[in-house]
């Protein structure tokens, strides 16, 4: 398998192996055949097509890293990144549903779950149940550990009280990783992660947000009112949830980078096809050098983003440090995707401003990349701190 030498101290960036190519190509075909016809209606209705989710499970896309003994594909984190990219090339909403399931929920259980937790929840997450990751609150965004959601110990477990906001997959999920503080005076050392099932007493899914982009991806409020969680559903150690949150989000940022390059590539693909057909002044606009140069610039920036995302994913799989690379990949890919989708609308002209053509949706979907799983300013802070330490 061919390799490319990178900077000293980093793992080599490898080309795709045969298994990865097969997985990617199968997902690409599925996205074209099964997802693409649904995209417009899902966006308009702000709702994931309910028939689509079972297909994602049947293809093994919801348990990519889950061991085979629990019904998963037991593939690599890098494979998850490829899948998210391919789905997002057609629809960023489907891409992020699969991304959260794999890079956040399944990843957290792989690293922090007890054997009992894995035996109980992995078969469900691999076969039929969507997961969600609940960290954010009204007063806790970039300041991720300013949590007001409380957990108090009771006989046999814990009682949770509070609200969560901006929870991706909230409408579809049946298994939630929820972060709450067991001791507000302890600061981040009071943060603890809990596994909450949708039918637990005292837990309800609240308001669904009406969003600019990725509209078919549900974003909801979660409400906990004396919600009982069994003691065995603590994920990791009590008071160590901050570590699980930070390390999982570092991996999740690579997944968002994959979503961004998928959206950018989808917009560019549509635009290349359009400029070959659209005629002005008696010839296709793609024959004008000014248009060609814009296409070339976009393609170059997307490829640079892709290599950054792939490199961060390979480093993660190799057990090498990847904090800075993940932050850089998310930062740059989200910036590139906004530029690319905006330029694509320009090249479509007035048609690009209408919902009849796909680029206006790619443009709306792109904006979230600079916000969730760490804003661009937070990525810059992470990169700077790593450089200066």
Torsional sign, CA 345, 351, 353, 359: negative
Q: Is 116 tagged catalytic?
A: no
Q: How far is CA 126 from CA 146, 171, 380, in A?
A: 32, 18, 35
With contact defined as beta carbons under 8 Å apart, do 117 and 109 qualify?
yes
Please give the Cα distance from 300 to 309 (Å, whole number): 14
Would you call 49 helix, strand, or coil by DSSP? Answer: coil
> Which tokens sit at 308?
């950054």
The residues that bridge with 283 in the sheet, in sequence order, are 280
Catalytic residue, candidates 20, 85, 301, 373:
373
- Give the residue among 214, 205, 225 at the shortest CA–CA distance from 95: 214
Label residue 253 exposed, middle or buried (CB < 10 Å: 0-12, 13-18, 19+): buried
The residues that bridge with 279 in the sheet, in sequence order, are 284
> Which tokens sit at 263?
């959206």
Q: Could you write out the DSSP letters of every residue in 179-215?
A: EEES-GGGGGGGEEEEEEETTSTTEEEEEEP--SS-T
Please give the Cα distance from 40 to 37 (Å, whole number): 7
Please give the Cα distance from 264 to 42 (Å, whole number): 20
For residue 24, count other CB atoms closer than 10 A to its CB. Answer: 16
Q: Which residues are catalytic?
A: 373
């Amino acid at each position: 398998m061919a390799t490319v030498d990178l900077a000293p101290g980093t793992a080599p960036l490898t080309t795709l192996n045969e298994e990865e190519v097969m997985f990617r190509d199968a997902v690409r075909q599925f996205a074209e055949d099964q997802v693409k016809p649904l995209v417009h209606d899902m966006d308009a209705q702000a709702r994931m097509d309910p028939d689509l989710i079972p297909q994602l499970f049947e293809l093994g896309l919801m348990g990519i890293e889950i061991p085979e003994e629990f019904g998963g594909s037991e593939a690599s984190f890098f494979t998850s990144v490829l899948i998210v990219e391919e789905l997002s090339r057609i629809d960023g909403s489907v891409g992020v549903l699969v991304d959260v399931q794999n890079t956040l929920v399944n990843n957290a259980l792989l690293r922090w779950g007890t054997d009992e937790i894995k035996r109980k929840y992995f078969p469900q997450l691999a076969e039929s149940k969507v997961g969600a990751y609940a960290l954010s609150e009204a007063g806790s965004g970039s300041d991720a550990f300013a949590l007001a959601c409380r957990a108090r110990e009771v006989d046999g477990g814990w009682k949770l009280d509070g609200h969560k906001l901006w929870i991706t997959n909230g409408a579809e999920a049946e298994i939630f990783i929820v972060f709450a503080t067991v001791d507000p005076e302890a600061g981040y050392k009071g943060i603890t992660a809990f596994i909450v099932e949708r039918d637990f007493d005292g837990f309800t899914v609240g308001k669904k947000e009406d969003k600019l982009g990725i509209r078919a991806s549900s974003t909801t409020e979660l409400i906990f009112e004396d919600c009982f969680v069994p003691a065995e559903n603590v994920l990791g150690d009590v008071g160590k949830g901050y570590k699980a949150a930070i390390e999982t989000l570092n991996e999740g940022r690579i997944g968002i980078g994959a979503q961004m390059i998928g959206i950018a590539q989808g917009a560019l693909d549509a635009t290349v096809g359009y400029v070959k057909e659209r005629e002005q002044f008696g010839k296709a606009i793609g024959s004008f050098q000014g248009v060609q140069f814009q296409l070339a610039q976009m393609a170059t920036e997307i490829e640079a983003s892709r290599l950054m995302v792939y490199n961060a994913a390979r480093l993660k799989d190799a057990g090498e440090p990847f904090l800075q690379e993940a932050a850089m990949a998310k930062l740059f890919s989200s910036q590139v995707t906004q530029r690319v989708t905006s330029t694509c609308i320009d090249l479509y002209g007035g048609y690009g401003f209408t919902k009849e053509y796909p680029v206006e949706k790619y443009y709306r979907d792109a904006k979230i990349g600079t916000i969730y799983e760490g804003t661009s300013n937070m990525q810059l802070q992470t990169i700077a701190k790593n450089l200066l330490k």
